[in-house]
Amino acid sequence: MACVGLFVPFLLASAAPAQGAAQNVDLKALQMRPLGPAAMGGRIIDLAVDENRPSTFYAATASAGIWKTVNNGTTFQPLFQNEKVASLGAIAIASTDSKQVWAGTGESNNRNSSSWGSGVWFSKDGGKTWAFKGLAKTLHIARIAVHPKNPDIVYVAALGGLWGPNPERGLYRTKDRGETWELVLKKDARTGATEVRIDPQNPDIVYCALYERQRDGFDGNHPIKRFGAGSGMYKSSDGGTTWKQMTKGLPTVHLGRIQMDIHRADPRIIVALIESVDGGKRPQGAPAPEKGPAGSAVMGIGNEGEDTNAGAKLTQVTSNGAADAAGVKKNDVVIEIAGEPVIGYEELLDVLEDQRANDTVKVKLLRDGKFVKLDLTFGDNRRSGRGRRGGGSRTHPYADRIGGQRANARQGPNGFQTGGVFMTKDRGESWERINSLNPRPYYFSQIRIDPIDPKHIHVPGIQYWISKDGGKSFQQSPNRGVHVDHHALWINPKDGEHLILGCDGGINITYDRCKNWEVLENLDIGQCYHAVADNRRPYWVYAGYQDNGSWGSPSRTPYSDGVMNIDAFKIGGGDGFVCRVDPNDSNVVFSESQGGNIGWLNVMTGARGRVQRGGNVAATMQGGRTRSSRPAFNWDTPFLLSHWNSKTIYFAGDRVFRSVNRGRNTSIISPKLTSEVKGTPSAKPSATALAESKRQLGVLWVGTDDGNVWLTRDDGKNWANLSKNVQELLPNQRPLWVSHIHPSQHSTGRAFMTVDGHRSHDRDPYVFVTHNYGAKWESLAEGLPQGAGSAHAIFEDPVNADLLWLGTEMGLWVSLDRGKKWQRMPKPFPTVACRDFDLQQREQHMIVATHGRSAWMVDARPLRALTKANRGKKAYLVKPNDVLRLRKRSRSKQGHRHFSIPNPPEQATFYYWLKGKPEAGATVVVRDLLGTEMFSAKAATTPGLHRVDWNLRKRRGARSGARSRTPARGRAGRGGRGRGGAAAAAGSYSVTLEVGDTKLVQTFKIEDDKSVLDVSWPRPAVVGEGQPGNAANDEAVIEQQRRIR
């Protein structure tokens, strides 16, 4: 793809304040640009394809709007970028008119990071414009079905709130293209619709699935409520007016998530993927497990491991144990064992629970970027005394993870009660369970049947499963190079070998029924949690991404085609979160994966290390004995490098940990931070915010997901619990998730805090400030409009104490008066969740971590300069940045199917402020040290903030002593290709803003880069050791980078 990024260069960019709002500043003059990258992709939720022209299709994303291609993915156009929300749950095209597109907002995959929506939207022009069509309170929409003959009739499967009850859920129908809606199938305030399908031959027949589910406030793996009496399958024969529940052949126990698909050629055939509360249990009448106790095997892999995108990373290998004897090494990543795929450490343990002592199995590993196959003979944990972490002691012969690869006979005549793949051949009158497969249903649960040949059934999940015998057996598709975690699938109704697949890594296309895949890496839709800039010049940005590890990429490159995927590289695996750069050595970068797994990498040498998380905490038991209690760490564990000594590291779980030697060992420096034991075993309450004062040594602030706020002023010796002081300002004085704390750099006792209540079914933003170490807090959220979304992060400018930046679920906000009023960042910045900030101090660029559009940069200089005093002046000229002019290189031609963000124009940018409209005109003039006029331009004179760009080329005919005032008309941002003379020489220059008799002068420099790329550029070839992600993709990227360097 040539470019999916946006940059807005202006020769004269002006912005006048809104009438009657003198304190507001129109922000359109600001320079804003995306930084990418797109190599990791992002979560695709649904696909809609024009069946008459399948090269045109739409991709609905979890948190980045809608993306459209008209050339089979060669290029994409971002749509739905500035509506109320960014999260999609469903998308559909009217078969009678492909320009009619319906979008249902709010992700439907029940993820801990899922965002919510604002109802249903409709486009009549192929996505160019969108009209709101109601159902705003449905929050999460799972499917949209358009009547195949009458496009005015549309069905919407509304799931409703994920974190709490609401009545606006169930199946809705419109007969007038969204002007009015009927709730035609409903259950209760906790049960919504997760599926709707229309019979292609008889559209009066409609099928719907209801689903009762709810997450808790602690971000566990599964929703805490995912089965219930409300879940079930229904059929209507009169277009949705009346309904009958389908039950014959289906489980009689409580059900979970259900998805369906109708065979296009013979709609009597329907397949369904059904989750059951009995999944993993031994059904009544099932035969006993095979001879020999399952779970007696021990592998010898210690007590802990890590998840990566590729599999389970072994952080310990017991000396002389079974793994050691087989040749397994520490930091190997297990991707398959005993014929079963492994996608994480817990899944590895689950597999081990079915293994038996002394059995020999095949193990497939990833080691240093290469695949290794070994034979491993298990030890016997009955002799070793090891429990589950050493191999497992629980029997697990009926797990819902068995994936249909083991005979269903193991589950006996009542095996259907455990759920799996079901089929009907009589339009739902009766059903038969044909396979036990159902991978992680709350997150995936998609099934498709080939429109032509019903023997081919596809089940996307963590891995991709396909059956060639009508569902009797499923094989894992060898999707080498395709990211795991599959959520959306379209099969060409005219060609069953042509499929489009959407996953956590973006979009993939196959033309030979999954044998080979084309991976599209041209969508910058990364779900970024945190981002940080180093101090290189040009600077690099490191960020952690949902399900895609942590990456580093440059803010600009010395290549004429800008920043491409080939310039980015992976520094950590798993789900990526916090990244930190050593302020004393930009080569040393820390990254983190879920659950507080922190490591560091020297991006130049490849040296790496791991931050030890500390030992267990002694917990008192009855009778005076003690036991070890493992620390609880959040999915997104906060950690930081001390501002006072970068070798000192702080991180927090249910306690605060400190290391003074870069993580070689750690100690606990706080009491337990959380109030009580809540949540699931995989997600107990823990810290979610951690901050250190830059003004006073030893001051640390901590916030938790159960609403506690703590402060120490002596580096952990004594702690104060400030929770009640915050909670008394919240609705019903209930504790809510503390999302961010930011200590002031201007006042020692001042700190800012954001509180996120959406996991408690409260989507309003909460923003607070204290001026006295938390004794009293004040709200700063009054100036935010309804619909801003939960508050995620806040940042106070270190120079201008009145300038605040705020990130919410629906956008980016700034305040010039310390939170009294807030202004939304305008286009081209999209509607997207903003999770974190980092200020690149030299360039004064604000780095914004967006959860959906990767990382962005905003020039903070003009806002920093607009203090109350400067806004009161007749005119003010902001000091410009020095300009670094890079030597441009070219790369080989790559066509258009690639990702590229143009480098920022090599230009000098001049911002100025006018309090009122001057009687005379305004002019911007650039001169060299000898006074030679290099550039002159008439400037806008409307009140407000303005920008003038100079393309670093001399005015034609300029010579020493020349005083001509004819405006130069060089095209800003075009590298000097517009009108103008030769390039200006490196050196010092002045810029003058002349407004009537007033002359304001600032100075700046033009510098030519003299660095050697091959020496100064981080080297990704060593990245991937020990923490690989998508192995095949990593290897391909690394090999590409080796070739060009």
More confident site: 369 or 612:
612
Q: Which whole number is the average pLDDT over 568-595?
A: 95
- Which residues on neighbouring strands pair with residue 425, listed in sequence order? none
- Res 624: pLDDT: 45
- Res 970: pLDDT: 32
Rounded Cα gap, residues 142 and 107, in angstroms: 7
Q: Which CA distances in Å does 970 have to 33, 656, 936, 956, 976?
A: 21, 56, 10, 10, 7
More confident site: 79 or 973:
79
- Res 246: pLDDT: 99
pLDDT surpasses 70 at 719: yes
Kindly report the CATH number that applies to the domain delimited by 45-246.
2.130.10.10
Of 680-689, 758-767, 877-886, the least confident: 680-689
Domain regions of the chain by residue span: 45-246, 263-287+405-521, 297-390, 876-1010
Rounded Cα gap, residues 194 and 461, in angstroms: 17
More confident site: 868 or 293:
868
The CA-based dihedral angle spanning residues 533, 536, 540, 544, taken in that order and rounded to the nearest 10 degrees: -50
Return the top range by mean pLDDT from 326-330, 365-369, 908-912: 908-912
Q: What percent of the chain has pLDDT over 90?
A: 71
For 876-1010, which CATH class? mainly beta
Of 23-32, 199-208, 242-251, 648-657, the least confident: 23-32
Q: Which whole number is the average pLDDT over 255-284?
A: 94
Q: Which CA distances in Å does 847 have to 32, 68, 542, 683?
A: 10, 27, 10, 30
Of 515-529, 569-583, 612-626, 728-742, the least confident: 612-626
Which token pair is 250? 């289906």
Residue 515 burial class via C-beta count within 10 angstroms: exposed 0-12, middle 13-18, buried 19 and up: exposed
Which residues are CB-contacts of 213 (< 8 A; sequence separation ≥ 6)? 110, 159, 162, 190, 223, 225, 226, 228, 256, 257, 442
DSSP 612-681: -----EEEE-GGG-EEEEPPP--TT--EEE-SS-TT-EEEESSSEEEESSTTSS-EE-S---SSS--SBT
Instruction: Label each residue of 635-651 as H, E or C.
Output: CCCCEEECCCCCCCEEE
Of 5-19, 106-120, 400-414, 949-963, the least confident: 5-19
- Res 339: pLDDT: 82
Rounded Cα gap, residues 220 and 681, in angstroms: 8
The model's pLDDT over 1012-1038, given as tens digits with 9 standing for 90+, comes to: 665 567 765 443 333 333 333 333 333
287 falls in which pLDDT band (50, 70, 90)?
confident
DSSP 791: E
- How remote is the C-alpha of 246 from its chain's centroid? 38
pLDDT surpasses 90 at 57: yes
The model's pLDDT over 106-132, given as tens digits with 9 standing for 90+, comes to: 999 999 999 999 999 999 999 999 999
Rounded Cα gap, residues 62 and 140, in angstroms: 11
Q: Does domain 263-287+405-521 have CATH number 2.130.10.30?
A: no
pLDDT surpasses 90 at 489: yes
Q: Which amino acid is at 98?
A: S
The 10 Å Cβ neighbour count of residue 166 is 15
Q: Which amino acid is at 425?
A: K
Q: Which whole number is the average pLDDT over 290-307?
A: 69
Instruction: Label each residue of 558-579 as H, E or C.
Output: CECCCEEHHHCEEEECCCCCCC
Q: Which amino acid is at 126?
A: G
- Res 276: pLDDT: 95
Nearest in space to 914 (alpha carbons), one of 998, 847, 977: 998
What is the dihedral sign for C-alpha 1037, 1043, 1044, 1045?
positive
pLDDT surpasses 80 at 974: no
Q: Which amino acid is at 382?
A: R
More confident site: 341 or 944:
944
7 falls in which pLDDT band (50, 70, 90)?
very low
Which residues are CB-contacts of 862 (< 8 A; sequence separation ≥ 6)? 29, 30, 878, 911, 913, 945, 947
- Beginning with the edge strand found earlier in the chain, give each strand of the sheet holding 154-158 in spatial order: 141-146, 154-158, 170-174, 182-185
Length of the chain: 1045
- Res 255: pLDDT: 98
- Res 357: pLDDT: 81
Rounded Cα gap, residues 541 and 539, in angstroms: 7
- Res 288: pLDDT: 66
Q: What percent of the chain has pLDDT over 70?
A: 86
Q: Which whole number is the average pLDDT over 551-565?
A: 94
Of 125-134, 861-870, 955-964, the least confident: 955-964
The model's pLDDT over 774-804, given as tens digits with 9 standing for 90+, comes to: 999 999 999 999 999 999 999 999 999 999 9
Q: Which CATH superfamily is domain 297-390 in?
A: PDZ domain (2.30.42.10)
The model's pLDDT over 149-162, given as tens digits with 9 standing for 90+, comes to: 999 999 999 999 99
Mean pLDDT of the chain: 87
Please state the pTM of the whole predicted model.
0.87
pLDDT surpasses 60 at 912: yes
Q: Which whole number is the average pLDDT over 452-478?
A: 93
Q: Which whole number is the average pLDDT over 844-866?
A: 98
- Res 304: pLDDT: 66
Buried b (16+ CB within 10 A) or exposed e, 347-373: bbbbbbbbbbbeeebebbbbbebeebe
Domains 45-246 and 263-287+405-521 share a fold: yes
pLDDT surpasses 90 at 967: no
Cα–Cα–Cα angle for 85, 87, 92, nearest 5°? 105
- Res 1028: pLDDT: 31
The model's pLDDT over 397-452, given as tens digits with 9 standing for 90+, comes to: 344 444 444 446 667 889 899 999 999 999 999 999 999 899 889 999 999 999 99
- Res 639: pLDDT: 97
Instruction: Show the DSSP H helices in 892-994 as ranges.
Output: none
322 falls in which pLDDT band (50, 70, 90)?
confident
pLDDT surpasses 50 at 964: no
Q: Which amino acid is at 771?
A: H
**Are the C-beta atoms of 97 and 75 separated by less than 8 Å?**
no
Of 60-64, 181-185, 370-374, the least confident: 370-374
- Which residues on neighbouring strands pair with residue 884, listed in sequence order? 1007
- Beginning with the edge strand found earlier in the chain, give each strand of the sheet holding 191-198 in spatial order: 191-198, 206-212, 232-236, 244-246
- Res 309: pLDDT: 62
Residue 261 burial class via C-beta count within 10 angstroms: exposed 0-12, middle 13-18, buried 19 and up: buried
Q: Which whole number is the average pLDDT over 949-976?
A: 52
The model's pLDDT over 185-217, given as tens digits with 9 standing for 90+, comes to: 999 999 999 999 999 999 999 999 999 999 988
- Res 1042: pLDDT: 33
